[in-house]
Amino acid sequence: MNQRTTLLLGLSLMAIGGLASFNLAKKDKQSIASAGLKIPDGFNAAIIADNLGSARHMVVTPANDIYVHLEGLKSGKGIVVLHDNGDKADIKTSFGSFAGTGIRISNGYLYASSDKAVFRFKLNEKQEVIDPEHPETVVSGLVSKRAHKPKAIAFDNEGNLYVNIGAYSNICSEFDPQKKGCPILDSAGAIWKFKTDKLNQKQSDGIRFASGLRNVVGLDWNQQDNQLFVMQHGRDALHDLFPKYYTTQQSALLPAECMYALKEGDNAGWPYMYYDDVKHKKMLGPEYGGDGEKEADAKYLDPVAAYPGHLAPDGLLFYTGNQFPEKYKNGAFIAFHGSWNRAPEPQAGYFVVFQPFKDGKPDGKWEVFADGFAGTAEETSPGKAEHRPCGLAQGPDGSLYVSDDVKGTIYKITYKK
């Protein structure tokens, strides 16, 4: 056995060990079953709505109305309005002629995104939409090509709107054959920043706030740290493209899905690097001279937390409520949509995890908070999963809502002392 073979075998065993630790972390928190979910002791999960359509992100008002954005139109409408009556949510109405993912309330408006634009609807004092048929266009003409089209959105405290513009590529190699630099980064693979006091903006009116991010669907503003946090979907196909450097097991577990805390001008390094959560290092991508051993340039942003590869983080929420135990206060919930490309390892994800925070930064090991969305072990693949968590929202009483974009199910998770 030559030196390279020995090295790759060692790395593969390390990666498998990482998966074993990951599976153990799942089992630690699977205390009780409720609404088909496994959640910690003291919590209860109830299905309050079902069959809504492809339910993506959502937001809850102080009056317990839930605005749910659908990925595909249902009866010609893209936003469903529910009212939570406690143990059941009834449909009040639906509106919006566009499907999409992002939806937020900010400064008297409901904002919602299509794959190419962000719109807003004026709200009354009860946070009900006043004129659902005539939204205002905040920004249009956003890049939307081939893949990673959904536009997730977030707001800071100063009237700025943040929009993910996903890269329409796995690793940019088809656009950068000479390895001179990925040309699509001028308009995609980044978070864009826009003002909300100006209507009818184009993408060129915004600021490329942070770049080198392949695709972000989960993002939220951290009030403790006064900073934007995002969850990146990592690249695919390390073994398929470079079998001499990566085993199938390594490719199933790498690269990590990463959480980044962003400041203006940050560069997370896609497509030139990826993060290896087994080595805890930024690695140079094989398309750009890497071999699984060479580290990336230190100039690229370090993640603040990392998770096993290919789990697809689609929702991020900082919990600020008072209903849950103190350990959850100001920590982050992450909805992992589930994998499709972890063979020969089992497909994984399809759960909501909790990441402890302290003073605005991740602090300690993440843990699986709610599991069992997909159903049986045999169903944990995209075509068979019963439910796939996508959006997260916090209710006025501190309840946690989770959306599912397979059957349009809304879960409500509560805690009773």
Q: Which pair of structure tokens corresponds to residue 45?
A: 């999960």
314-336: b or e for each residue (b if 16 or more CB lie within 10 Å)? bbbbbbeeebbeeebbbbbbbbb
The two beta strands, 273-276 and 281-284, are antiparallel
**Short-list 310, 350, 358, CA closest to 334:** 350
**Cα 169 to Cα 162: distance, rounded to the nearest angstrom:** 21
**Cα 78 to Cα 121: distance, rounded to the nearest angstrom:** 13
In this prediction, residue 344 has a pLDDT band, given cuts at 50, 70 and 90, of confident
Q: What's the pLDDT tens digit per position in 33-70?
A: 578 999 999 999 999 999 999 999 999 999 999 999 99
Q: Are 241 and 254 in contact (CB under 8 A)?
A: no
Partners of residue 353 on adjacent β-strands: 334, 368
Model pLDDT, residue 345: 85
Average pLDDT of the segment spanning 260-279: 97
Model pLDDT, residue 343: 83
The CATH architecture that domain 3-415 belongs to is 6 Propeller (2.120)
Q: Which residues contact 81 (CB under 8 A, 6 or more apart)?
A: 65, 66, 67, 68, 91, 92, 93, 94, 95, 129
Average pLDDT of the segment spanning 3-24: 40
Q: What's the pLDDT tens digit per position in 356-385?
A: 999 999 999 999 999 999 987 666 766 789
Question: Terminal CA-to-CA distance of the chain, rounded, Å?
Answer: 58
Is 255's pLDDT higher than 90?
Answer: yes
**Cα 88 to Cα 365: distance, rounded to the nearest angstrom:** 34
State which amino acid sits at residue 322: N
Q: What's the pLDDT tens digit per position in 18-36?
A: 443 344 344 334 444 578 9
**Cα 269 to Cα 283: distance, rounded to the nearest angstrom:** 10
Is 7's pLDDT higher than 50?
Answer: no
Model pLDDT, residue 340: 83
122-154: b or e for each residue (b if 16 or more CB lie within 10 Å)? ebeeebbbeebeebeebbeebbbeeebbbbbbb
User: Domain spans of the chain?
Assistant: 3-415
Instruction: Give the lowest-confidence range in 23-37, 173-187, 297-311, 343-357.
Output: 23-37
Q: What's the pLDDT tens digit per position in 108-159?
A: 999 999 999 999 999 999 999 999 999 999 999 999 998 999 999 999 999 9
Model pLDDT, residue 353: 98
Average pLDDT of the segment spanning 313-329: 98
Query: What percentage of the chain exceeds 90 in pLDDT?
Result: 84
Instruction: Give the lowest-confidence range in 26-35, 96-105, 164-173, 349-358.
Output: 26-35
E strand or H helix at 112: strand 109-113
